[in-house]
Amino acid sequence: MRLRGFLSPAIVLSVILLDRLTKGLALENLRFAGRELLPFLSLTYVENTGVSFGLFRGNNAFFVVFSAVLICALMFFRRRLAAHGAAAETGAALVLGGAVGNLYDRIAYGHVVDFVDLSFFPAVFNVADASITVGAVLLAFGMRDEGAGAGPGKQQEERKKCA
């Protein structure tokens, strides 16, 4: 069995499970009172109808549709994304897991449950938001050389032709 073929589904499932677990704990324990863990880290219950990190609040229905389309696109293009290497494949898996986690909240609760509150960061977020953000960075990093064709040698040949 190929490890790589197992890794992406395992990442997606792990993100979804960790997101559900932490949001369940937030719903159960933080609804009426937050908790300060460190001087810069608190757990604070927030209902978010926008996107990651509280942007564009009040648009839950739009983001249900947007999330569903994003999930379908990631599933459709997963092999093409994986062809860009481990960083792109891992990034896509992290984005997919985070998108599914937040979509679940939007459908089940009408909002996303956020609870991680860093004093130096302007918004409260959750595991899914962090996964989407890290995943997008990895995806971009993995796809950064997409226009390079066959690599640096190919680019140098093209430059010589133009000169």
Q: What residue segments make up the domains of the chain, in order of their start?
A: 3-162
Is the model's pLDDT at 152 over the cut of 90?
no
CA triple 28-39-31, angle to 5 deg? 15
Catalytic (active site) residue 117? no
Marked catalytic residue, from 19, 105, 117, 129 = 129
The predicted model scores a pTM of 0.81
Q: Residue 46: which H helix or E strand, with range? A: strand 41-48
- Condensed to tens digits (0 to 9), the pLDDT of residues 82-138 reads 888 889 999 999 999 999 999 999 999 999 999 999 999 888 899 999 999 999 999
DSSP code, position 148: G
Is the model's pLDDT at 24 over the cut of 50?
yes
Tokens read off for 162: 């133009």
Marked catalytic residue, from 105, 114, 117, 145 = 114
DSSP code, position 163: -
Catalytic (active site) residue 129? yes
Q: What does the longest C-alpha to C-alpha distance in the chain come to?
A: 68
- Strand ranges for the chain from DSSP E: 35-38, 41-48, 112-118, 124-125
